[in-house]
Amino acid sequence: MDEPGPVLDGMLTRLRPVREQDLPRLLAILDEPEVAAWWRRSEWERVDEPGAQTLAIESGGAVAGCIQYSEETDPDYFSAAVDIFVGTAAQGRGVGPDAMRTLMAWLVDVRGHHRLTVDPAAENARAIHVYEGLGFRPVGVLKSYERVEDGVWRDALLMELLAEDFRRA
């Protein structure tokens, strides 16, 4: 990670930089079947890449998951990509949408992004529903985009949002 990320308060969540002591909880969440199906542990191990920032999602004082953003800083292609996982125990209560909305508001209002993208697995109907609710629109299917296991690749759905389409409420 380049620099410590922000601390952001939403309606249901607080987003803040990941701490060393969060890792056992986050890795346990990544092992949960409902999360592992969509976010492989190897992805977590790759998050420490230039330009990517990972924030812990706290809900009710406990770590509920993670949210990540990476920024394309070339002024001619300025945009940000977002990804998220929420542990099974915290799902179904609006935590994921609130964390997304909170980070998106910061990316648009503070960082000045006019365009955001997400790329869920094409079969991840739940994530796609959440992203559509925030204003993302499907761009198209990215064929064989993501390796699930050796020799097995799955499609993703590229989705984009322009700042004026952001459904904040």
Q: Which stretch binds ligand COA (CB under 6 A): 15-23, 71-79, 122-130, 138-146?
A: 122-130
User: Does the footprint of ligand COA cover residue 44 (CB under 6 A)?
Assistant: no
User: Does the footprint of ligand COA cover residue 91 (CB under 6 A)?
Assistant: yes
CB under 8 Å to 123, separation ≥6 — which residues? 154, 155
Q: Which stretch binds ligand COA (CB under 6 A): 1-9, 42-50, 121-129, 146-154?
A: 121-129
User: Does the footprint of ligand COA cover residue 127 (CB under 6 A)?
Assistant: yes
Q: Do residues 51 and 103 make contact, with C-beta atoms less than 8 angstroms apart?
A: no
Residues contacting ligand COA: total by CB under 6 A: 24
- C-alpha–C-alpha distance, residues 30 and 163, integer Å: 30
CB atoms within 10 A of CB 88: 12
Side by side, which strands form the sheet with 14-17? 8-9, 14-17, 52-59, 62-72, 79-86, 115-118, 152-162, 137-149
User: Does the footprint of ligand COA cover residue 63 (CB under 6 A)?
Assistant: no
Q: Which stretch binds ligand COA (CB under 6 A): 72-80, 127-135, 146-154, 160-168?
A: 127-135
User: Does the footprint of ligand COA cover residue 95 (CB under 6 A)?
Assistant: yes
- C-alpha–C-alpha distance, residues 48 and 40, integer Å: 15
- C-alpha–C-alpha distance, residues 53 and 59, integer Å: 19
User: Does the footprint of ligand COA cover residue 145 (CB under 6 A)?
Assistant: no
> Which spans of this chain sit near ligand COA (rule: CB under 6 A)?
34-35, 38-39, 65, 83-86, 91-97, 120, 124-127, 129-130, 133
